[in-house]
Every structure is written in C-alpha cells, then in structure tokens.
C-alpha cells in the first residue's frame, strides 16, 4: 500500500491510497477463508467447500467485507504514520476490490488546526474574593422549613392564595364534551408556582372549599402539545380543601430532622460551607473565562466545519429542551431551521475556538483523561439525570459521544493547568 497526502485546507486532509494487485488478492482470499470455515454444502464437509464455490455463492458479501476490512487496516496504518487524530467522520471515496486489478481510493477528514499558543505563564488575572451573605443562608433555611412544613386546612372558608395548596377535581370540555387527558380527581395544586395555565390558576383562586366553578381555558399558540395549541376550552373545577403550610421553628430539632445536625448553628455552618465552596468555584470559573477570552484575542486559527456543526446541533438541542420545559416547541419561534442554525452559529464558533485552544493547551501541558475518569463522569451524569449508568454509557458509545465527552474533560483539565500558571490577584467583590 502506498499513499499521498493532500492538505485541502489547514483543517482538512485527503489521503490518496494505492493498493497493488497482490494485496487485493490477499484481502479477498482472507475473506473467502472466513466464509469457507463456517459454510456447509451438500456433498462437502463443513469447512471443506471449495473456495471457488464459496466465492461464487457469497460474492457480494465477500467483496464488500474484504473492501471494508482492508480500508480499515489502511486507515489505522495511515493515522498512525501521520500521527493524525480526525475530529470528523472519515469519508471514503472509492469503489470495491476486484480480482487482478489494483485498488485506488481516497479518504478525507478534518483535524485540529496547528498554531502557536500565546505565552500564558504569569498571565495577570483578577479573581473576586468568595463571600457568603447571611441572607443567602437564611433563604436556604427558609426553603428547608418550607419543604418540611405541615399542610393544615385553613381556619376560615376562603379561596386559596399564592403559597397555599389546593385539593381539587377538574375536567376540560370542548363543545360540551369532555376532553381526554385534561382531568383529575383530588389533584394537589401549589398556587403561585406558575406550573398551571394562568386561566386555570385564576379560576381556582376564586373558589373556597366546597365550591364549584367553570371558566375558559385558553392555550397559547406555542403550547408544546399541538393538539391543544391555540385552543380555547371550558374547564370545570371543584375545590375540596385549601391548605396552608405551617413552617417548623428554626431550632435544633429542625436541624436534627433536616440533616442529622446536632444544632441549628451546625446546620448554618454546613450551609455556609456549601455556599462558600460553590461560590469559590463560581468566582474561579469567572476569572478563568476572563483569562481565556483575553488569550483567544491574541491568537487566530481556522475552525473545522464539522466541529462547528456539532456545537450548532448541541445549542439547538439545548434551545429545544428549554422551550419544552416552558411548554413550548421549536416551531413556536416561527423560524425556519436554517434561520435558527444561523442564529446560534456565532456562539457555536466561539465554543469551537475555546475547545480547540484548550485541547491544544492540553497537548502542551501533557494533560490526559483515562477510561476510569470517563466512566466516573458518565456515572455522575447518570446520577444527576436519574438514568441507568449502563444504558447511558451504551448511548454514548453507539452515538460516538465518548470522544466528545473526553475532549470536554481534557479542556477542563487544560484550563486548570493554565490557570495554575497565571498570576492571580484576589480582589473584593464588585458592588451589586
């Protein structure tokens, strides 16, 4: 096998490969031998069918597999020789092996650009001092008290208000007929959380326990369920009970029940410590981004299109998820897919620049990510998203997401390595 390399661009290579007849014949013979081992045919023992009969019967499969196997071997050899790490899929341009004929084909792929990193040793950067406001600790304690509150019926016969919990039955109707999927009995609803449509919550707030009412239920045009988007239905509601939260006292007993703390002072210390850790990480991340933004302005390099496209896809997926959490769909934005792609492309390009810079720094700093670290990261993702670890790992493997995850981890490690070499000055937090 012989090959020549063309630099199509600073980030794209094309490799032209020539395979002599002898190697073609050897590849076909190896594929035929594999089929022959397991083939049975009347008049012949298993594995003893003549090679010409095997080739005749399974010609299409044999030639396809022989071609694929040979190309895969060549790709590994070429990548090793070139010390190349493709960041895109490897595109194949060629035909199929034929007996007695040299085989010529080409592969093309994108790689990270080569460029000189700016000198970041001793780079001046300011990092805000991490501080915790006692009001923030008080808010956490209040949330804990709220979560542990006892629900008790209100003393007076009044409609519910924000902060109350209402137990009710409801059903939606269209032209007098019940609408499937919009009804419930003894439904417990938190008022003021904006988890329900405004029309529905406003109606509930007019009804005291034992009262019934009905009113219009108007769905927004961008409602996530297209069956109801833009529709106006009638909703009937019966309130059974209105309850209010009776918060427990902020004392040592609460601390013991909430987290096994021996006292409220110990619980406040734990909350403060947790806040301080997260605040320290936040101010460090902010300072790191400031430093990285300044370094990126010093250097310039081309961006691989496949990498930009990948991040465009990620950003659109994030956009879709945020809209769905709001009960909306991508279509509700009233924009064509190409318009949305153009809209997020500048951000995708910036993410790509950042990732490439940090991967280049990782190589310089000798930073690596091993398989155990990747597994641990997937385990964390699975726990945060309440997914099965094995299923999530299989998803990453089947969709070629492992390499992207590894690169993100490499970039994070590289950023820490760069920041360790910076001249960091701690400053007082900016006034809010």
Question: What pLDDT score was predicted for residue 55?
Answer: 81
pLDDT, tens digit (0-9, with 9 covering 90-100), for 361-420: 999 999 999 999 999 999 999 998 889 999 999 888 877 678 888 889 999 999 999 999
Q: Are 410 and 266 within one domain?
A: yes
Q: Where are the alpha helices (DSSP H) in 44-165?
A: 51-57, 59-82, 134-147
Over residues 310-321, the mean pLDDT reads 92
Please check whether residue 101 is in contact with residue 20, taking contact to mean a CB–CB distance below 8 angstroms: no
Contacts of 332 (CB under 8 A, 6+ apart): 221, 222, 229, 323
Question: What pLDDT score was predicted for residue 67?
Answer: 94
Alpha-carbon distance 399 to 85, whole Å?
18
Q: Are 230 and 285 within one domain?
A: no
Q: Is the pLDDT of residue 247 over 80?
A: yes
Alpha-carbon distance 303 to 353, whole Å?
7
Q: Are 231 and 265 within one domain?
A: no
pLDDT, tens digit (0-9, with 9 covering 90-100), for 257-282: 998 999 999 999 999 999 999 999 99
Q: Give 316's pLDDT tier (boundaries 50, 70, 90).
A: very high
Q: Are 238 and 260 within one domain?
A: no
Bridge-based pairing of strands 91-94 and 124-128 is unpaired
Q: Could you tell me what percent of the chain has a pLDDT over 70?
A: 97
Residue 69, in any domain of the structure:
yes
Question: What pLDDT score was predicted for residue 40?
Answer: 65
CATH of the domain at 40: 3.30.70.1050
pLDDT, tens digit (0-9, with 9 covering 90-100), for 107-158: 999 999 999 999 999 999 999 999 999 999 999 999 999 889 999 999 889 9
Q: Give 164's pLDDT tier (boundaries 50, 70, 90).
A: very high
Q: Give 239's pLDDT tier (boundaries 50, 70, 90).
A: very high
- The closest of 282, 280, 288 to 126, measured between CA atoms, is 288
Over residues 8-12, the mean pLDDT reads 93
pLDDT, tens digit (0-9, with 9 covering 90-100), for 39-62: 666 556 666 677 787 788 888 999
Gap between the terminal Cα atoms of the chain? 67
Q: Are 53 and 169 within one domain?
A: no
Crossing angle, helix 59-82 and helix 21-38, to 10 degrees?
130
Q: Are 362 and 379 within one domain?
A: yes
Q: Are 260 and 356 within one domain?
A: yes
DSSP label at residue 81? H
* Residue that finishes a domain, picked among 211, 246, 281: 246
Q: Give 240's pLDDT tier (boundaries 50, 70, 90).
A: very high
Parent domain of 361? 255-427
* Residue that finishes a domain, picked among 222, 246, 270: 246
Q: What is the count of structural domains for the chain?
A: 3
Q: Are 307 and 389 within one domain?
A: yes
Question: What pLDDT score was predicted for residue 187?
Answer: 95
* Residue that finishes a domain, picked among 246, 272, 288: 246
DSSP label at residue 333? G
CA 311 from centre of chain? 11
Q: Are 213 and 267 within one domain?
A: no
């Amino acid at each position: 096998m012989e090959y020549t390399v063309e630099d199509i661009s600073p980030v794209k290579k094309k490799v032209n490969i020539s395979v002599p007849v002898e190697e073609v014949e050897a590849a076909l013979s190896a594929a035929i031998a594999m089929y022959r081992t397991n083939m049975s045919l009347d008049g012949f023992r298993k594995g003893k069918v003549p090679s010409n009969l095997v080739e005749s019967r399974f010609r299409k499969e044999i030639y396809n597999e022989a071609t694929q196997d040979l190309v895969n071997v060549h790709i590994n050899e070429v990548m090793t020789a070139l010390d190349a790490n493709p960041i895109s899929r490897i595109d194949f341009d060629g035909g199929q092996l034929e007996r007695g004929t040299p085989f010529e084909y080409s592969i093309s792929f994108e790689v990270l650009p080569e460029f000189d990193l700016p000198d970041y040793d001793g780079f001046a950067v300011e990092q805000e001092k991490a501080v915790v406001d006692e009001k923030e600790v008080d808010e956490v304690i209040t949330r804990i008290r709220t979560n542990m509150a006892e629900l008790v019926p209100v003393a007076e016969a009044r409609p519910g208000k924000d902060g109350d919990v209402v137990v009710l039955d409801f059903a939606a109707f269209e032209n007098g007929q019940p609408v499937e999927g919009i009804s419930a009995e003894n439904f417990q609803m938190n008022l003021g959380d904006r988890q329900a449509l405004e029309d529905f919550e406003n109606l509930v707030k007019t009804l005291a326990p034992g009262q019934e009412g009905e009113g219009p239920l108007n769905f927004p045009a961008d409602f996530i369920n297209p069956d109801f988007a833009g529709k106006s239905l009638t909703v009937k509601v019966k309130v059974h009970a209105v309850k209010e939260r009776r918060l427990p006292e902020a004392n040592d007993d609460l601390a013991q029940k909430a987290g096994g703390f021996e006292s409220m002072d110990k619980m406040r210390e734990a909350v403060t410590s947790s806040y301080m850790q997260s605040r320290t990480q936040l101010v460090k991340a902010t300072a790191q981004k400031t430093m990285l933004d300044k370094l990126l302005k010093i250097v310039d390099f081309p961006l691989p299109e496949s990498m930009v496209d990948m991040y465009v896809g990620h950003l659109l997926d994030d956009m879709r998820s945020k809209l769905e959490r709001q009960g909306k769909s991508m279509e509700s934005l009233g924009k064509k897919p190409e318009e949305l792609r153009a809209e997020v492309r500048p951000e995708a390009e910036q993410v790509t620049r950042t990732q490439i810079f940090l991967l280049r720094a990782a190589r310089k700093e000798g930073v690596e990510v091993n398989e155990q670290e990747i597994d641990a990261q997937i385990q964390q993702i699975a726990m945060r998203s309440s997914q099965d670890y094995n299923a999530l790992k299989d998803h990453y493997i089947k969709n070629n997401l492992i390499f992207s995850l590894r690169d993100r981890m490499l970039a994070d490690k590289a950023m820490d390595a760069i920041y360790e070499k910076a001249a960091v000055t701690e400053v007082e937090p900016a006034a809010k």
